Structure 1
């Protein structure tokens, strides 16, 4: 186990696999969107989308303990979830370093559902398309290229703040939502076997 610059304890995939094979193991909380979760997730994990976690963290604390590992695609959203839960009074949670991507690369098992594009890939497609189309159309319509400039500025802010407004907007689309995962669904999953 390593510690990230923000003092978030990180588990690498091998360490998590050892914990899961040695008995009941920690509770696995996957904070990706329901659509991402249903595409592929670590067996036995519960889907607690980051937006739901942030909005209802006080209610969720009653159903969580420190023996949990937070998971997302790469580790970034899981670290944000750890920070939100620590601020609400539950410090010491661990984050899977590299997320589902690292888990899969290390040969960890995944439960798979219908294939969907990852949110990050969707952001690259939309941002790239906007820049390309407005850049070309800007040759005929002066000023239209400024939309591409605005997209570039948004991507710069996203990198500097480690947030992504376009990703948040895209996650709201029906394609990305998957089955509804409201507070009642999350609490029911947390009450079930871990």
Structure 2
């Protein structure tokens, strides 16, 4: 009885003290987090792309960890509108793009905000990354989504090449522990 009670208490405290960890980027890949921490327009799906490739779709406050080859990329997302971010990624580095829902005429629009500064307000992003799990998609799910988005990809890239973008995901990167939310003694200890 005593052993069972101790085992139960140990299990409860283990879960209570559990903190999500952020995996480092593989040495031969770059990692980009697309983080939608706001619940504004929570029911509206946003679809995410790496140039012509669909990499995911989700609604509400969630995030996507995307591992990709280093080098040049054009990331974009689609809701009622489309927004674009150019990037030149380094292997072994972690980058973050804040996905900010915007009020639209019929449904929510979006703004992709590359986090390029240590002064960017990270509290909501850190809380979501600490508590949540990355959205994940199987190859068959992505293949179906890719087929559904075929025309969207063509029009989205046409719009980009006509309009262009000055938004760049800079060389500001994160260490895994910098993406975790830590609250100590009633005060936030997150300086990023």
TM range (shorter): under 0.3
Structure number having the greater helix percentage: 1
TM-score (norm 1): 0.24
Structure number having the greater strand percentage: 2
